């Protein structure tokens, strides 16, 4: 299984790349994390936000495979503690396919992406900057995996 994280935004600062890579490297091959950056929609002066979100949606949907289990990160999604995430990760592994985790742009995910999602997950009730979400998500996926395999990291 591969955990494919489709994230709107490109050219992340070095601290984000370093943070994400720390956890990506730790994951085993059978539960690898792959980040796919999606170019943001045009949000210049007087931009049409709905059009920008649709552009992001088009780009994101082009990376989603029919066999993917889709999890949308959405402020209105369900919150999971670490044990629940570990349980979900185990379930995704048992399904045998890849998982696409979707991180939207500054205005969230295109409605078509939300409609296609099998699950909606809220990382936090807090508003987090998108670069930080990448690190938190990678770390939590690693933590969930360590819980599954009995690794001491979670303690």
Residue 29 domain-assigned (yes or no): yes
Tell whether pTM > 0.85.
yes
Domain that holds residue 15: 3-149
User: 124 a known binding residue?
Assistant: yes
Could you read off the pLDDT of 79-121 as tens digits, one per residue? 999 999 999 999 999 998 999 999 999 899 999 999 999 999 9
Residue 33 domain-assigned (yes or no): yes
User: 73 a known binding residue?
Assistant: yes
User: 104 a known binding residue?
Assistant: yes
Could you read off the pLDDT of 14-28 as tens digits, one per residue? 999 999 999 999 999
pLDDT band of residue 47 (cuts 50, 70, 90) is confident
pLDDT recorded at residue 18: 97
Structural domain count, the chain? 1
User: 39 a known binding residue?
Assistant: no
User: 122 a known binding residue?
Assistant: no
DSSP characters over 84-130: HHHHHHHHHHHH-S-EEEEE-BTTB--HHHHHH-SEEEES-SS---H
Question: Three-class SS of residue 70?
Answer: strand
User: 137 a known binding residue?
Assistant: no
Residue 39 domain-assigned (yes or no): yes
């Amino acid at each position: 299984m591969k955990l494919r994280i489709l994230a709107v935004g490109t050219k992340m600062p070095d601290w984000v790349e370093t943070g994400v890579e720390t956890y990506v490297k730790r994951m085993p091959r059978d539960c690898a994390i792959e980040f796919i950056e999606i170019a943001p929609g045009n949000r210049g002066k007087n931009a049409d936000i709905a059009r920008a979100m649709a552009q992001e949606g088009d780009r994101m949907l082009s990376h989603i495979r029919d066999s993917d289990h889709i999890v949308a990160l959405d402020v209105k999604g369900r919150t999971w503690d670490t044990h629940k995430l570990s349980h979900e990760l185990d379930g995704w592994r048992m399904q045998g396919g890849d998982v696409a985790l979707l991180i939207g742009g500054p205005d969230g995910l295109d409605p078509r992406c939300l409609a296609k999602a099998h699950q909606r997950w809220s990382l936090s009730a807090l508003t987090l900057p998108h670069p930080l979400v990448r690190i938190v998500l990678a770390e939590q996926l690693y933590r969930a995996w360590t819980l599954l395999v009995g690794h001491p990291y979670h303690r």
